[in-house]
């Protein structure tokens, strides 16, 4: 079963997102837990959650992949920004429990001049402060393109963060095809090799979700510019192979392409039409 969806606006609540997803042909989706640029979060309505959880079950949705706000930087050189990020993360962990057993994806952070080692320690410290044994949410580190002082563009960096996290069963990884490519991982020419490398360094069992994007830039650009599927340097065929790869095909795939509804629906339908049955695979 292909689980595929896109980023949806959370402004009208959970049930509205569920219905929106279904209208686009999606059976998973991503959403910002709060304003992506700010810190405020709307109160959650239990009635909305109850209605959504029912819809979720009836329509066999796959794991949701919530996204932390971009303003969350757990390894900023500014202690106030680090604290702001930790407070958002802690609050988001409470909010995520309204929809139990889902994924919460975040950008590990930018060390803003402190160095990768210090950044990694601060990210892990924050996770160790906030993750709780009783939480059902799995927190995903997103692999990054390596723009500026971003941490997490190398598999080794993701591994170092995970190594320092105490509650390892609460942590996973989300890989983004645009970020992989721009970080220098050749998913077009050598998907097999990239996945072998990830397995060796991080472990494929930690890979819980994929972001499916084309890229405006050539490999190793470190710029993080998403493109519509088939209009960038990765191309449709390589992305179709990603969704069909035996190690990936059961994961939730989230489109983060610069689209409106119509474009998302078309991309979802494209990947569905190219998704193989077990018997006849590419
Ligand atoms: Fe992201
Ligand atoms: Fe992404
Ligand atoms: Zn990106």
Q: Please say if 7 is a catalytic residue.
A: no
Expressed in angstroms and rounded, the spacing between residue 105 Cα and the centre of ligand 2 is 9
Expressed in angstroms and rounded, the spacing between residue 40 Cα and the centre of ligand 1 is 19
Number of domains within the chain: 1
Which of the ligands is closest to the CA of residue 68?
A: 1
Expressed in angstroms and rounded, the spacing between residue 278 Cα and the centre of ligand 1 is 30
204 contacts 250 by C-beta, under 8 angstroms = no
CATH code of the domain covering residue 190: 3.20.20.150
Give this prediction's pTM.
0.97
Chunked mean pLDDT (size 10), the chain, 282 residues: 96 97 98 83 94 98 97 97 97 97 98 98 98 98 98 98 98 99 98 98 98 98 98 98 97 98 98 85 56
Q: Please say if 59 is a catalytic residue.
A: no
Expressed in angstroms and rounded, the spacing between residue 47 Cα and the centre of ligand 3 is 33
| Active-site hit among 176, 182, 227, 267 | 176
Three-state SS sequence of the chain: CCEEEEEECCCCCHHHHHHHHHHCCCCCCEEECCCCCCCCCCCCCHHHHHHHHHHHHHCCCCCCEEECCCCCCCCCCCHHHHHHHHHHHHHHHHHHCCCCCCEEEECCEECCCCCHHHHHHHHHHHHHHHCCCCCCCEEEEECCCCCCCEECCCHHHHHHHHHHCCCHHHEEEEEEHHHHHHHCCCCCCCHHHHHHHHHHHCCHHHEEEEEECEECCCCCCCCCCEECCCCCCCCHHHHHHHHHCCCCCCCEEEECCCCCHHHHHHHHHHHHHCCCCCCCCC
Q: Please say if 111 is a catalytic residue.
A: no
What's the pLDDT at 229? 98
Expressed in angstroms and rounded, the spacing between residue 85 Cα and the centre of ligand 1 is 15
Domain housing 182: 3-281
Q: Please say if 176 is a catalytic residue.
A: yes
What's the pLDDT at 36? 78
What's the pLDDT at 279? 61
64 contacts 29 by C-beta, under 8 angstroms = yes
What's the pLDDT at 281? 62
Reduced to 3 states, what is the DSSP secondary structure of residue 70?
Answer: coil
| Active-site hit among 86, 111, 226, 249 | 226
Which of the ligands is closest to the CA of residue 145?
A: 3
- Helix intervals (H) in 140-217: 155-164, 177-183, 191-201
Expressed in angstroms and rounded, the spacing between residue 49 Cα and the centre of ligand 1 is 24
137 contacts 102 by C-beta, under 8 angstroms = yes
């Amino acid at each position: 079963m292909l689980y595929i969806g896109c980023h949806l606006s959370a402004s009208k609540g959970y049930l509205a997102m569920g219905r929106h997803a279904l209208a686009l042909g999606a059976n998973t989706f991503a959403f910002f837990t709060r304003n992506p640029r700010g810190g405020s979060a709307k109160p959650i309505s239990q009635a909305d959650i109850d209605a959504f959880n029912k819809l979720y079950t009836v329509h066999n949705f796959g794991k949701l992949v919530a996204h932390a706000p971009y303003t969350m930087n757990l390894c900023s050189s500014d202690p106030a920004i680090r604290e702001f990020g930790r407070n958002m993360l802690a609050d988001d962990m409470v909010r995520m429990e309204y929809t139990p057993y889902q994924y919460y994806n975040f950008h590990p952070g930018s060390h803003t001049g402190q160095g990768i080692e210090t950044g990694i320690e601060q990210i892990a410290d924050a996770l160790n402060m906030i993750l709780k044994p009783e939480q059902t949410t799995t927190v995903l580190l997103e692999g990054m393109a390596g723009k500026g002082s971003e941490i997490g563009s190398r598999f080794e960096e993701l591994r170092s963060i995970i190594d320092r996290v105490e509650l390892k069963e609460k942590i996973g990884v989300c890989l983004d095809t645009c970020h992989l490519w721009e970080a220098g991982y050749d998913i077009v020419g050598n998907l097999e090799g990239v996945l072998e490398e990830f397995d060796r360094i991080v472990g494929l069992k930690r890979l819980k979700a994929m972001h499916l994007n084309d890229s405006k830039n050539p490999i190793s650009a470190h710029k993080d510019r998403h493109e519509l599927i088939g209009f960038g340097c990765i191309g449709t065929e390589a992305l179709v192979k990603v969704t069909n790869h035996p190690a990936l095909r059961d994961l939730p795939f989230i489109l983060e392409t610069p689209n409106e509804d119509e474009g998302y629906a078309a991309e979802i339908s494209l990947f569905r039409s190219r998704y193989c049955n077990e018997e006849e695979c590419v």
